[in-house]
Amino acid sequence: MFHGSLTALITPMKADGSVDFAAYARLIDWQIAEGTAGLVPVGTTGESPTLTHEEHKDVVEAAIAAARGRVPVMAGAGSNSTAEAIGLARHAEKAGADGVLVVTPYYNKPNQEGLFRHYEAIAKAVSLPVFIYNIPGRSVIDMSVETMARLAALPNIAGVKDATANLARPLHTLRACGPDFIQLSGEDHTALAYLASGGHGCISVTANVAPRLCAEMHAAWARGDIAHAMAVQMRLLPLHDAMFCESNPGPVKYAAALLGFGANHVRLPLVAVTEANAARVKAAMLETGLLN
């Protein structure tokens, strides 16, 4: 169900900082029309750390409603509190999500046994496919391949969003967890190389503003046209660079605003990109052919 180009959706906001649900629905319609294979609301890119619990749930429900079953929705349901993550996962299941994305618990730094028990508890609480989100750069901890293999043996632990940028990792994960364990890259720059190492797709930041190109790259790979897939990735490279010139989602929110999807607003403690980096984002969009 989850493969190819999936978009780690921004949460569009109005100038006053409130969620812009009309822009969100338009963004999702456009994503699907452009070929995006799946939607991932309220992850890091969706500013989950600064959404209230009610906003989080509202955004998940809005994504599911806008998708209308056309593509699967993997709802963010992560927390460094296991009980809170279970609550978010149960809400996502009740709302009609097709899966949940659960980040490794940040700040409190559980050991590998704690990580196993955290995901085991969530998996037992819902029947949805559960995806591990392993992002050491933000959560500090790194789930080992051995722990992931233990979790992969559970019935509804379905896969991983791997944001380690370590291209040896998917090879070891494939060997330990088997080919049915869905490996999704969480790092746009290495997405194509990740596919070559056993990956099934990418949960992409860049796809918020270049969904057609991201989908085209994955489609080319799937049909064996490696040269075209590489050409698309090289075209996207300046955009990938620009999307991470400051903390995500600052640059992509600005880029989305240029395309008419919400205001250029991120919630504190993040701030809008600097003028210099805004110019860099706009130049990359022009070079990639996203703006006239």
Q: CA-to-CA distance for 85 and 268, rounded, in angstroms?
A: 23
pLDDT category of residue 116 using cuts at 50, 70 and 90:
very high
Q: pLDDT of 60-106, one tens digit each? A: 999 999 999 999 999 999 999 999 999 999 999 999 999 999 999 99
Reported as a pLDDT band with limits 50, 70 and 90, residue 119 is: very high
Residue 1's pLDDT band (cuts 50, 70, 90):
confident
In-domain check, residue 137: yes
Q: Is residue 281 assigned to a domain?
A: no
Q: What is the pLDDT of residues 27-50, one digit of tens each?
A: 999 999 999 999 999 999 999 999
* 168 contacts 192 by C-beta, under 8 angstroms: no
Cα–Cα dist 116/149, whole Å: 10
The yes-or-no verdict on residue 187 having pLDDT over 90 is: yes
Q: Please check the confidence at residue 250 and state whether its pLDDT lies above 90.
A: yes
Is residue 109 among the annotated active site residues? no
State the pLDDT at residue 59: 98
Mean pLDDT score of the chain? 97
pTM for the full model?
0.97
For 1, 22, 78, 166, 268, the CA distances from 103, given in Å and listed in that order, are: 20, 28, 5, 18, 21
Rounded Cα distance, 256 and 253, in Å: 5
CATH for 74: 3.20.20.70
Q: Which of 161, 194, 253, 254 is catalytic?
A: 161
- Tell me, yes or no, whether 189 lies in a domain: yes
- Close Cβ partners of 181 (under 8 Å, ≥ 6 residues apart): 152, 158, 159, 160, 173, 174
Predicted local distance difference test score (pLDDT) of residue 66:
98
Cβ distance 198 to 178 under 8 Å? no
Q: Is residue 209 part of a domain?
A: yes
> Does the residue 280 lie in any domain?
no
Q: Is the pLDDT score of 107 beyond 90? A: yes
Contacts of 216 by beta carbon, 8 Å cutoff, 6+ apart: 35, 232
The answer to the question of residue 128 being in a domain is yes
User: Over the stretch 196-239, which tens digit does the pLDDT of each residue have?
Assistant: 999 999 999 999 999 999 999 999 999 999 999 999 999 999 99
Please report whether residue 58 resides in a domain.
yes
- Rounded Cα distance between 168 and 190, Å, is 12
Instruction: Give the pLDDT confidence of 151-175 residue by residue, as tens digits.
Output: 999 999 999 999 999 999 999 999 9
Residue 9: both structure tokens together: 């959706």
User: 243 in a domain, yes or no?
Assistant: no
Band of pLDDT at residue 292, cut at 50, 70 and 90: confident
CA 204 to chain centre: 5
Q: Which residue segment(s) compose the domain that 205 sits in? A: 4-225
106 is catalytic: no
Task: Please give the tally of structural domains in the chain.
Answer: 1
Hunting for tokens 């992931």 — which residue is that?
A: 148
User: Which residue of the set 24, 57, 119, 133 is catalytic?
Assistant: 133
